[in-house]
Amino acid sequence: MQQYVRAKLHGIRVTGADLNYHGSITIDAELCREAGLEPLEFVEIWNKMSGARISTYVLYGVPGSRCCILNGAAARTCQVGDEVIIASSEWGSAADVIARRPKVLTFKPGNQIDERIVYRVFRNAAGELDMAIETDAGAPLDVRDLVG
């Protein structure tokens, strides 16, 4: 068993930080559902601006609000406007990750979805694991476009 990416929000902007809330990250429920993030699911959060890396759990926010609010101790790791990457993972075999096809959403300012991406893992002609990154239109992307 290995740990694999299950869903990811890449470049979503922090809209709030509430130190006095009891903990977690509150994310627009619409965005969570589209990416496949579930309520109370543990996620890793990587702040692109400061390099801070934390782990917490997801609370669904108001659908359509485009919110991304770090709560409790997590609020100390960011500033409103910071871009963060939020990723969930799961344990499984190569067959599981081949079947999963993790979804990635990238964002424009205002937390509007920019791109919908799928990570597709497969076995190539030699039987080795390989992967492709596809947009919602099915167009392949160069992996280097997503580094960061």
- Domain CATH number, residue 80: 2.40.40.20
Tens-digit pLDDT profile for residues 46-98: 999 999 999 999 999 999 999 999 999 999 999 999 999 999 999 999 999 99
Whether residue 74 is annotated as binding a ligand: the answer is: yes
Q: Are residues 75 and 103 in the same domain?
A: no
Q: Is the pLDDT of residue 145 over 60?
A: no
Would the pTM count as exceeding 0.85?
Answer: yes
Give burial (CB, 10 Å; 0-12/13-18/19+) of 118.
Answer: middle
Give how many domains the chain has, as a whole number: 2
Q: Are residues 17 and 75 in the same domain?
A: yes
Q: Are residues 108 and 141 in the same domain?
A: yes
**Phi, psi for 51 (deg, rounded to 5):** 85, -5
- pLDDT-derived band at 23 (thresholds 50, 70, 90) equals confident
Give Cα 103 distance to the centre of its chain.
8
- pLDDT-derived band at 139 (thresholds 50, 70, 90) equals low
Q: Which residues have C-beta within 8 Å of that of residue 108, sequence separation ≥ 6? A: 114
Q: Are residues 79 and 141 in the same domain?
A: no
Structural domain that includes position 77: 2-90
Q: Are residues 80 and 107 in the same domain?
A: no
Contact 36, 29 (CB under 8 A): no
Q: Are residues 111 and 86 in the same domain?
A: no
Q: Are residues 7 and 59 in the same domain?
A: yes
Q: Which residues have C-beta within 8 Å of that of residue 33, sequence separation ≥ 6? A: none
Domain end among 68, 90, 112 = 90
Structure tokens belonging to residue 50 = 């400061």
Tens-digit pLDDT profile for residues 104-115: 999 999 999 999
Q: Is 57 a catalytic residue?
A: yes
Give Cα 83 distance to the centre of its chain.
12
Whether residue 73 is annotated as binding a ligand: the answer is: yes
Percentage with pLDDT > 90 across the chain: 89
Q: Are residues 30 and 84 in the same domain?
A: yes
Indicate which residue of 4, 21, 57, 65 is catalytic: 57
Q: Is the pLDDT of residue 126 over 80?
A: yes
